Chain A
């Protein structure tokens, strides 16, 4: 099946640090990539949708200057959490889909802990 690799799996860093998370589709061209945030024991909240070569579309309430998304190729999207603070600590998950859109293939997530 389709494979999406997300890296790193865990990050622990100091407040004020910027953190970059990579999401790669390994065996298919990901026309669209999605970034989600998941709090403990809760569901996934869509943060933004990105299409290759264009600006990401952010969901209401998500600060685009805080969460920078780049989708420069059909196999790579990055999420940069700028000047991270403890409230940004969460589990971030990416997913990717091809032109058909269904289904979404998920990475294994990144556990971000800001001290």
Chain B
């Protein structure tokens, strides 16, 4: 079964607005990563947050992690039309096979110019 579950499944916003996507997971993790996928393409790694971190920034991206609630959020500030894509969270579990990722179902973001 899928470890990560994103919500919302789809999000449509105006250019310049902020976009927030949430991810929940079920088991203990080593780290949580966010990826972006343009339609029909592979995934691009955006940001990684470790289990002992609570917040991380990278450019217009801000990721939070709450291990007590087993949830994470991805905030994209000042969105651009080029941010239109699907965004997936992926968790790396603890223990053996910790390099394997389990992906959520993704949030499809549409940024309207």
* Complex CA distance for A44 and B101, rounded to whole angstroms: 10
Instruction: Pick out which of these stretches binds chain B: A12-20, A63-71, A75-83, A96-104.
Output: A96-104
* Complex CA distance for A34 and B102, rounded to whole angstroms: 12
Contact of A106 among B44, B97, B108 (CB under 8 A): B44
Contact of A102 among B41, B88, B99, B108 (CB under 8 A): B99
Contact of A46 among B44, B48, B100 (CB under 8 A): B100
The reply to whether the CB of A25 lies closer than 8 angstroms to some CB of chain B is no
Contact of A103 among B33, B41, B100, B102 (CB under 8 A): B33
Known: A95-B43, A103-B33, A109-B41. A44 touches B88 (CB 8 A): yes
Q: How many residues of A contact B (CB 8 A)?
A: 25
Q: Mark A22-64, 1 if CB is under 8 A from B, else 0.
A: 0000000000101000000111111001000000000000000
* Complex CA distance for A43 and B101, rounded to whole angstroms: 12
User: What is the chain B residue whose CB lies nearest that of A99?
Assistant: B99
Q: How large is the interface on B (under 10, 10 to 19, 20 to 34, 35 or more residues)?
A: 20 to 34
* Complex CA distance for A108 and B106, rounded to whole angstroms: 17
Q: Across the interface, which residues of A come within 8 angstroms of B40, CB to CB?
A: 91, 109, 111
Check B103–A102 contact: CB distance below 8 A. Answer: no
Contact of B42 among A32, A97, A109 (CB under 8 A): A109
* Complex CA distance for A45 and B103, rounded to whole angstroms: 7
The reply to whether the CB of B57 lies closer than 8 angstroms to some CB of chain A is no
User: What is the chain A residue whose CB lies nearest that of B50?
Assistant: A102
Interface centre among A42, A44, A46, A95 (most CB of B within 10 A): A44
Q: Across the interface, which residues of B come within 8 angstroms of A106, CB to CB?
A: 35, 42-45
The reply to whether the CB of B19 lies closer than 8 angstroms to some CB of chain A is no
Check B101–A104 contact: CB distance below 8 A. Answer: yes
User: What is the chain A residue whose CB lies nearest that of B46?
Assistant: A103
Show 16 residue pairs from A and B whose CB-CB distance is below 8 angstroms, ordered by the A residue.
A4-B42, A6-B42, A42-B105, A43-B106, A44-B43, A44-B103, A49-B100, A91-B40, A101-B92, A101-B99, A102-B92, A102-B99, A104-B45, A106-B44, A108-B41, A109-B41
| Chain B residues with a Cβ under 8 A of chain A | 2, 31, 33, 35, 40-45, 48, 88, 92, 97-106, 108
